[in-house]
Amino acid sequence: MSAHIHAEQPALTKNQSLVYDALTRSKAPLSAYAILDGVREHGIRAPLQVYRALDKLLEMGLVHRLESLNSFVACSNSECEARETIVFAICEKCSKVSELADDRLEAQLNALASADHFSVHAATVELRGFCKQCRPTG
């Protein structure tokens, strides 16, 4: 196995590093403009600079986009690049995001799609709820 984490990626450029670091430091997902606010002091001034860096980071798999929040998170799962389907569990109280992966779920989704003669290229799966720490019961 020797699972390597995001290996063989080209080095990050200055803007990409700034954006990636901002996301890594944050405990919660950040919008592109929230990222911008965080990197202004480092010389980035325009939204486009952030979006361009994000595009590359998304390509490399270092960052994920949460469609239901219009926000971005640094990848926290060393295995995620091996999969086409990642499940994001988004806590509505503390905003923490967990990445879950499961081969059976992916198979299930593909089976469901196949039954409808639909061929899947990409899947977005985002769960809203409470994380372990924030659940009413504790």
- Please report, as ranges, the residues that interact with a copy of itself according to CB under 8 A: 67-68, 87, 89, 91-92, 98, 100, 102, 104-105, 108-109, 112-113, 115-132, 135
CB 32 within 8 A of CB 72: yes
Is residue 43 part of the contact set for DNA (CB under 7 A)?
A: yes
Is residue 6 part of the contact set for DNA (CB under 7 A)?
A: no
Judged by DSSP in three states, 16 sits in: helix
86 binds, among a copy of itself, DNA, none (CB under 5 to 8 A by kind): none
CB 22 within 8 A of CB 38: yes
Query: Could you please report the per-residue DSSP string of 103-115?
Result: HHHHHHHHHHHHH
CA separation for the pair 41, 112 (Å, rounded) = 48
Rounded to the nearest whole angstrom, what is the least distance from the CB of residue 29 to a copy of itself in the complex? 14
Segment interacting with DNA, rule: CB under 7 A, options 49-57, 76-84, 92-100, 102-110: 49-57
- The label of the residue with tokens 């990636």 reads 20
CA separation for the pair 70, 42 (Å, rounded) = 24
Residue with Cβ nearer DNA (15 or 85): 15
37 binds, among a copy of itself, DNA, none (CB under 5 to 8 A by kind): none
* Interacting residue ranges for DNA, rule: CB under 7 A: 10, 13-16, 31-34, 43-49, 51-53, 56, 70-71
